[in-house]
């Protein structure tokens, strides 16, 4: 099961790296688009897809066990939307290849939640060292190129807190959905995703009337983020259910490697509004920092 969880985490990492590149493209191509505006529109689209998914995945327990799954799903969605909004704020000034690996800092928050609040996990020396490698990697990336503004770093830290609390809720939520007797991890993950993102879409619809009108192209810019994020989140839900939130986030942190590679490709293709051109020594320094994440995966699972 650990191998399945790790594979799910690696696939989630790839699609989330793509999603962050698309969201960065949206906020930079539309400077007057607020983070809340992108958040609402993207999640309205995700909510529409999730409603279609619910039609095919519907089971009677969704109604009969409403009190079991709804509260934890609601809190997970609220924390997630807070984290996502903060991340969109950071993306206005931080390139995706720098921003995505910095999300590895959420491991610290998750470890504190699991040990101090939930008392659900204990960590050995190698696991603590794995977490330290992830944190060290994040700080190396901060110094690989021009400095990241302090304000942007604070937005990233707030995003990490929101994501970490949401991840904790996801772990519990998928467990609750698993009690429905669906029989497979795929069905549990898909149903959990559809329930969460239907709720996110409803919140997006409620927010939209309070936002300023935007050109139609905003929806087109938000669509690639919505699609790639939805695919990634299905695999992430499955990953957390199999190997837990801390280990899952170490595996998921390999999205930093994909983000560095995508950053090089974007800069080479002339998309310098999204990724600044950097020298090969800086690129190699970023790759070295992200390879520490692979070491962390191995150490954590020994």
Beta strands in the chain (DSSP E): none
CA distance 190 to 177: 10
Report how far apart, in Å, the C-alpha atoms of 139 and of each of 202, 208, 212, 284 are: 37, 37, 37, 15
Give the pair of three-digit tokens for residue 49. Answer: 């897809």
pTM score of the predicted model: 0.82
CA distance 216 to 257: 33
| CA 191-196-200 angle, 5° bins | 145
187-235 pLDDT per residue, tens: 888 898 899 999 999 999 999 888 877 777 788 888 999 999 989 988 8
CA distance 2 to 7: 9
CA distance 141 to 40: 30
Task: Determine the structural domain holding residue 86 and report its residue range.
Answer: 2-301
CA distance 9 to 87: 20
Checking if the pLDDT of 96 tops 90, the result is no
Contact 90, 41 (CB under 8 A): no
Mean pLDDT of the chain: 82
Checking if the pLDDT of 273 tops 60, the result is no
Report how far apart, in Å, the C-alpha atoms of 157 and of each of 7, 14, 59, 80, 145 are: 27, 22, 38, 13, 20
147-203 pLDDT per residue, tens: 778 888 899 889 999 998 998 898 889 888 888 877 777 788 889 889 999 999 999
Domain count, the chain: 1
CA distance 131 to 134: 5
């Amino acid at each position: 099961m650990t191998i399945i969880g790790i594979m799910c985490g690696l696939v989630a990492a790839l699609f989330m790296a793509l999603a962050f590149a698309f969201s960065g493209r949206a906020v930079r191509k539309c400077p007057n688009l607020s983070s809340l505006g992108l958040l609402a529109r993207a999640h309205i689209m995700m909510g529409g897809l999730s409603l279609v998914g619910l039609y095919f995945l519907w089971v009677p327990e969704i109604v009969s066990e409403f009190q079991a799954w709804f509260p934890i799903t609601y809190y997970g969605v609220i924390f997630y939307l807070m984290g996502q909004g903060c991340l969109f704020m950071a993306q206005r000034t931080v390139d995706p290849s720098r921003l995505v690996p910095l999300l590895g800092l959420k491991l610290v928050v998750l470890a504190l939640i699991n040990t101090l609040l939930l008392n659900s996990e204990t960590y050995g020396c190698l696991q603590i060292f794995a977490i330290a490698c992830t944190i060290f990697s994040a700080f190396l990336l901060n110094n690989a190129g021009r400095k990241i503004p302090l304000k942007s770093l604070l937005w990233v830290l707030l995003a990490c807190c929101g994501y970490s609390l949401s991840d904790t809720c996801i772990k519990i939520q998928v467990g609750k959905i698993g009690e429905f007797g669906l029989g497979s991890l795929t069905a549990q993950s898909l149903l959990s995703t559809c329930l969460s993102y239907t709720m996110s879409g409803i919140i997006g619809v409620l927010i939209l009337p309070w936002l300023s009108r935007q050109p139609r192209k905003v929806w087109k810019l938000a669509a690639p983020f919505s699609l790639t994020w939805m695919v990634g989140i299905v695999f992430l839900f499955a990953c957390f259910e199999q190997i837990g939130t801390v280990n899952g986030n170490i595996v998921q942190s390999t999205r930093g490697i994909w983000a560095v590679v995508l950053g090089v490709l974007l800069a080479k293709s002339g998309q310098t509004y999204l990724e600044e051109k950097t020298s090969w020594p800086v690129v190699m320094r970023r790759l070295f920092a992200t390879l520490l994440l692979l070491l962390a995966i191995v150490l954590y699972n020994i």
